[in-house]
Amino acid sequence: MRPNPTLRTLCAAALLALLPHAAMPADDPTTDDPFQWLEEVQGDRALAWVRERNAETLKELRARPDFEPTRGTMLSILNSKDRIPAVRRIGDRLYNLWQDGTHKRGLWRRTTLAEYRGAAPAWETVLDLDALGAAENENWVWGGAECLGPDDRRCLVSLSRGGADAVVVREFDLVDKAFVRDGFVLPEAKSDLSWIDADHVYVGTDFGPGTMSAAGYPRQVKRWRRGTPLSAAETVFEARPEDVYASVSVDPTPGLARTVFTRAVDFYHQQRFLLQDGKLVPVDVPEDARFTFMHSAGRRGDTLLLELRSDLEAGGKRYPAGALLAADAPAYLAGKRDFQVLFEPSATRSLTGFTTTRSHVLLNILDNVAGRVEEWRRGTDGRFVRRAVRAPSPGTFALASLHDPLRRSDPLAEQYLMSYSDFLTPDTLFLGRTGSDRRATLKTLPAAFDATGMRAEQLFATSRDGTRVPYFVVWPRGARADGDNPTLLYGYGGFRIPLDPWYSRAFGAVWNARGGVFVVANIRGGGEFGPRWHQAALREHKQRSYDDFIAVAEDLIARRITRPERLGIEGGSNGGLLVGAVMVQRPELFNAVVCQVPLLDMKRYHKLLAGASWMAEYGDPDNPADWAFISKYSPYQNLHADQKYPRALFATSTRDDRVHPGHARKMAARMLAQGHPVLYYENIEGGHGGAADNEQRATLQAVEFSYLWQQLGARP
């Protein structure tokens, strides 16, 4: 999977927690799928098959002379002390989860901003995950914390067994640095908790039969009082059985406190309700729009920010999909529709995220997949004034506000963190202040490889329907377009997630540095050009993603950057579906396929774990009209014994309770049964990320890179 740059705090989290593993009967006589028994995640027969495949793969790849050096390089990078600690502000401190060779599962630790600015911050350990796991005989993996402001002493800490999305939740005291005796505790499940006050929380979890959606998310929200059993919690909101989930968001800002309940109709559409005087009042916003409230001091300090996913007609005006609008919040809730446009998309520009300080909105913009930053300052009249921020270019930014709206006097109210990187420039983390282009450099990631003589360029391919598709090429030192470069093409193309430039120490150190060309395709289905780019490859149009990816591959060959024998492809999750579909459709174009934690059986994906939540992206296979287009690209159903395919590597995790490991298992099993050689590797832990600690990550990456060099070969 693509490594995340420092500070991905603006990216909206996808729906990630899922149903407990459901056992499937072996050799079910009601199905025509002879490999459905591999869907039994913890079944003895299925795990025996997994261990046999793992042993075969590791025996072959470990015999290569580059395996252990690659694993050593990866482990050194992952455990290096010079990484930039990703931080989150809680109260007056900055918190970080740190993993290295000594602390494999991690230290949750904290420091001050003043210390963090120094070369060697003094970190205070708050919770040692390795020690906790050893004491409790559990394989705990950090799942995050939700803390109660403004004193930020009590937190709801989530712990995952082996990296799964399902978590155990326990109340934790940041002063005592210990779990609270008789505090709030939830058993393992896909759960969502929000503080109301010190003695009450809203909770969504598995309350018993009928309380979880078909996708495996809570569909009930209850109000739970401290000291009472969970069974006594009062139901305050409920989604319909066919919905994806129910959730709640609590904004405790003094004088502007609001509680919003959400009913997710599907992955992209939600109905929101505002709690007013004990009653739920519908919020009149488009179901596919994102909205948030921005608070600051002053009479006009309450603003509603509305990010559109589709066109909006309001107040006699039309606002395009992808726009960001601002309105006076009380006036909007009263029915007035007076918007100020803070961002309007164009053919090349899209909004990839935004964050707010006390009086500014910071926009993270992509222009032809190159990052730009703008800030909008709110005046005393409630109107905003734009200012372009001078910053490095043309790479990728991530922004995170340090403002705490619960503090009336906040010294960090107008400060924010900004990270910048591109394919050849290591991440730099800055401390910025609104209204100024001056910023302090907090941390710089040391180079993991020598980029001298390397270059990155943006090219365009023409897809089947004439659409221009951009892609990036990262050239190793001395490479030229001679048609003989080992080349790895990476893609995703779904859920409006953009693939903008990032600095990958792994790809740079063990791929580019050894003479490999790295290519990133910005295909439809992603978010590189806003909602229109994503929606162009939804449902019945999903094939456009695959056509775009194929067009990039063909363009690489036509430009003599590589040839099919030297071309490999890689993708994970939805990207695993991408490379699986493309491998089946155009096998002659490739000689290597790294298919990570993939969806592959699109006839049953909606019945496996969180799959039902993604039908807005792919369609419903049980609907004949939808299956008519899904069936044309579903990789598992389109395998043929008489076709020649590149030898693929399928990688997944037993503990992935988001995308079912049965997808990868069954695909590999069917290919083997048809006589196609494949490699398969399944980490027993790791969740959807594929690994639970750095040693597991290093082994997984060594498997993948050793396989790629084996298939594509080094340059003479």
Active site residues: 573, 688
Which DSSP string do the residues of 587-653 spell out, in sequence order?
A: GGG-SEEEEES----TTTGGGSGGGGGGHHHH--TTSHHHHHHHTTT-TGGG--TTS----EEEEEE
Strands 455-462 and 439-444: unpaired
Q: Is 241 left (phi over 0), alpha (psi -120 to 50) or beta?
A: alpha
Tokens matching residue 125: 């350990």
What number of CA atoms fall less than 13 Å from residue 519's CA on the CB side? 30
Asked if 497 and 526 count as a contact pair (C-beta separation under 8 A), the reply is yes
By the 10 Å C-beta count (0-12 exposed, 13-18 middle, 19+ buried), 558 is classed as exposed
What residues pair up with 471 in beta bridges, in sequence order? Answer: 459, 521
C-alpha–C-alpha distance, residues 524 and 462, integer Å: 12
Tell me which residue of 499, 548, 496 sits closest to 525, measured CA to CA: 496
What phi and psi, each to the nearest 5 degrees, are found at residue 486?
-60, 120
CA distances from 593 to 55, 76, 191, 463, 582 (A): 20, 26, 35, 21, 10
Radius of gyration, alpha carbons of the chain: 25
* SS3 state of residue 208: coil
C-alpha–C-alpha distance, residues 489 and 503, integer Å: 16
What phi and psi, each to the nearest 5 degrees, are found at residue 571?
-170, 155
C-alpha–C-alpha distance, residues 578 and 225, integer Å: 46
* The total number of residues written for the chain in this structure: 716
Q: What's CA 128's distance to the chain center, in Å?
A: 25
Tokens matching residue 541: 């149009």
What residues pair up with 140 in beta bridges, in sequence order? Answer: 161
* SS3 state of residue 570: strand
Strands 567-572 and 592-596: parallel
Asked if 637 and 585 count as a contact pair (C-beta separation under 8 A), the reply is no
